Amino acid sequence: MSITVLHEPRVTEQEQRDFRWLMDHLPDLTVRYPDKWVAVCNEEVAATAAGGEEASRLARQVKGADSRPVIHFVEGGAYVY
């Protein structure tokens, strides 16, 4: 067993809300931002970019340096991995 339970730092409530918002809006995002990385912060798309960290950096510029956007790659079709 190589799993270690870490009680700190926990995932913030805002990160959890942003993840849920992202999952609830995936169908719409698939249409609007195919094959883009999106950064979701405060339950909205704060930035899109060609790379995930780039999207995160742009989102922090908009939402504040201390914000922790959730980063997601929007698949534009049925990719087989």
Residues that bind another protein (CB under 8 A): 1-7, 9-11, 15-16, 18-19, 22-23, 26-27, 30-31, 34, 37, 50-54, 56, 68-73, 75-81
Q: How far is CA 79 from CA 26, 30, 74, in A?
A: 16, 13, 11
User: For residues 43 and 52, which CB has a smaller minimum distance to another protein in the complex?
Assistant: 52
Other C-beta atoms lying within 10 Å of the C-beta of residue 36: 18
Q: How far is the CB of 5 from another protein (least distance, A)?
A: 5
Task: Say which residues have a Cβ less than 8 Å from residue 3's Cβ, sequence separation at least 6.
Answer: none
Q: How far is the CB of 32 from another protein (least distance, A)?
A: 11
